[in-house]
Structure 1
Amino acid sequence: MRRFIIIMVTAFTVITAGLICLMIVAINAGGLRRSGTYFGSSNLKLVNTQNVSLDGIQTLTIDYYADDVTFYEGDTSELILNEYMSYTPNDDDLTRIIKNGSKARLDGRRDNYRGWFFNFNRSSRVEIYLPSDYKGELSVSTSSGNISSDMVFAVRKFKASCSSGDIKLTEVYAENIDAATSSGNISIDKAEGTRNIRATSGDIKILGGEGDTGVSSASGNITIEASKGSLEAEASSGDITIRNSSGQKDIETTSGQIVITDSDGYTEASASSGDIRINDFGGAGNFETTSGVIKLAYAEDAAAIEEDIIIKASSGDVNLTLPAKAEFNFKAQTSSGDIRTSFDDSLAFDKNDDHASGIIGSNPSFDLKVTTNSGSIHVD
Structure 2
Amino acid sequence: MKKILTILTTLASTITIENCISNFNLRTITLQNDCFKKNVHQSNNDFIFSDLYKNNKGEIYSITNDGIYKYTNDKNTFIKIKGINGLIISLKFDAKDNIYALKTNGIYKCLVNKNEFKKMKVTTNTNNYSFTNIKIDSSNNVYVWSKKDGVYKCLVNKNEFKKIGGIYLSQTDNFRIYLLFSKNNLYALTTEYNDYHNKIIYKLLANENEFTLIDYKTEINNNYNIESYRFAVDNIGNIYILSKNWNNNTTIVYKYLFEKNSFIELNGLPTKNIINSSVDLRVDSKNNIYILNLHNKFYKCLANETQFKEILLINNNNNIQISTIVFDSENNIYVAQTDGVYKCLSNKMKLKKMTIEDNYTPRSISIDKNNNIYLIDTDGHIYKCLANEMEFKRILG
The bucket for the TM-score relative to the shorter chain is under 0.3
More relative contact order, 1 or 2 (CA 8 Å, 6+ apart): 1
TM-score (ref. length: structure 1): 0.26
Which one has the bigger helix percentage? Answer: 1
Higher Cα radius of gyration? 1
Which one has the bigger strand percentage? Answer: 1
